[in-house]
Copies of this chain bind each other. A is one copy, B any other.
Amino acid sequence: MIIILGAQATDQQVDDVIERIESLGLQAHLSRGTYRTVIGVIGDEDKISAAPFEAIPGVVQVVPVLPPFKLASSEAHPKPSIVATGNAKFGGGHLGLIAGPCAVETEAQMDAIGRAVSEAGASVLRGGAFKPRTSPYAFQGLAEEGLKILADTGKKYGMPVVTEVLDPRHIELIDRYADMFQIGARNMQNFVLLTEVGRAQKPVLLKRGMSATVKDLLMSAEYILSQGNPHVILCERGVKGFDSLTRNLFDVAAVPAIKSMSHLPVVVDPSHATGRPDFIPACALAGVAAGADGVHIEVHNAPAEALSDGPQALLPEQYAQLADQLREMFELVNKNTPKTL
């Protein structure tokens, strides 16, 4: 960590900072310039990052030099991690394809969609049973009934299933039906939920919050990892932007950014990132071209009748065509020498 003091800082203030550093068992390295004094702090990183040096009089800036995540970091774990469930694999040269409707609605709907995405080669079936809806008056999901339908459809078509968890009190219930937990964007910093899914020993699909930096996302992954659950898949699903043309702003550079700092697999979700079915194929392909280890796409057999987010779903036949293109693209990308220099 680097501590910077301003031109007006007195000798006493500089001494106070150094004393504080040394009182924590850390070392201080001092450089005095004409306009600024710079003090490097060396020692136990946990102690360093916990101390509020910014609040010491005279200090104008504090610059951390080490990322605050450890288990998620590729400095500690240089080889890419592979997260697997059933026959699906994400990372280390494997492409995982997650597909299904926004919400589980009926057996017939899930059967139609499950069969279609299975035939298209998707590896994980998704479907929401507990839905985080902006409006309290909107459809909130089928709860346990939805979980049953999802699990049954998954079994029938040989696909592991993923569903969103909203409430720490539901984890046991969901654990009985699902193969993978999803933490939604709105809960990326719901640390209670992160800690609880960290205790479960199943894969977690962790979606990036709409105003979260890549480092924030890795810190949230760290919550799960620090509970002993190493099976974390990160998901880029768009951040808040100023152009209302798309629902969110698909941050494709998050893929190489995460790969440069972490060993965890990364999935892209162009459905939520754009909210525009006509832009989904281009963005899905872009994600794979950028190095993503998986693609998450919402598919519905009757979008105009859907109870939730119908307008952003692909039709089964559109998905089948796209899935072929994604596999072809993934093959090309993997054949090449690494894209990140």
* Bound Cα distance from A333 to B282, whole angstroms: 10
A285 and B333: CB pair below 8 A?
yes
Q: Which residues from B are CB-within-8-Å of A34?
A: 42
In the bound complex, how far is the Cα of B2 from the Cα of A61, in angstroms?
A: 12
Given known A210-B211, A214-B243, contact A282–B256 (CB-CB < 8 A): yes
A160 within 8 A of partner (CB): no
Chain B residues in 8 Å Cβ range of A318: 341
In the assembly, what is the distance between CA of A276 and CA of B245, in Å? 22
CB of B274 within 8 A of CB of A253, answer yes
Bound Cα distance A238, B267 (Å): 22
Q: A136-B222, A260-B278 known; A29 and B38 CB under 8 Å?
A: yes
Are B256 and A279 in contact (CB-based, < 8 A)?
yes
Find residues 50-80 in chain A having any chain B CB closer than 8 Å to their own CB.
50, 52-56, 61, 63, 65-66, 68-69, 75
Tell whether, in the assembled complex, residue A245 and residue B52 are in contact, meaning their CB atoms are under 8 Å apart: no
A11 within 8 A of B: no
Cβ-based interface call for A92 (8 A): no
Which of the segments A82-90, A110-118, A149-157, A182-190 contacts the partner chain?
A182-190
Q: Indicate if A12 sits at the interface (CB-CB under 8 A).
A: no
Contact, CB under 8 Å: A339 / B249: no
Q: How far is the CB of A326 from chain B (nearest CB, A)?
A: 10
Q: What's the least CB distance linking A64 to chain B, in Å? A: 10
Instruction: Convert A282-323 into 0s and 1s, putting 1 for each residue whose CB lies closer than 8 angstroms to a CB of B.
Output: 110111111100000000000111110111011000100100
**Residue from the set A241, A256, A321 with the largest chain B CB neighbour count within 10 Å:** A256
Interface size class of A (residues with CB under 8 A): 35 or more
A192 to B219, CA, bound (A): 23
Quick one: given A136-B222, A253-B279, are A213 and B40 in contact (CB under 8 Å)? no
* Distance in angstroms between the alpha carbons of A34 and B46 in the assembled complex: 14
Say whether A143 faces chain B, with CB atoms less than 8 Å apart.
no
Chain A to chain B: the 5 pairs with minimum beta-carbon distance, closest first: A54-B311, A289-B289, A29-B31, A211-B211, A52-B310
Task: List A residues at the B interface (Cβ < 8 Å).
Answer: 2, 4, 7, 20, 29, 31, 33-36, 38, 40, 42, 45-46, 49-50, 52-56, 61, 63, 65-66, 68-69, 75, 132-139, 166-169, 186-187, 189-192, 195, 209-211, 213-216, 219, 222-223, 226, 239-246, 249-253, 255-257, 259-260, 273-274, 276-283, 285-291, 303-307, 309-311, 313-314, 318, 321, 325, 328-329, 332-333, 336-337, 339-341
Residue contacts A-B, CB under 8 angstroms, 22 given: A31-B42, A35-B65, A52-B304, A55-B303, A68-B135, A69-B135, A132-B191, A136-B219, A136-B222, A166-B190, A166-B192, A186-B189, A187-B190, A209-B211, A213-B243, A215-B245, A252-B282, A253-B282, A255-B286, A278-B341, A285-B339, A325-B336
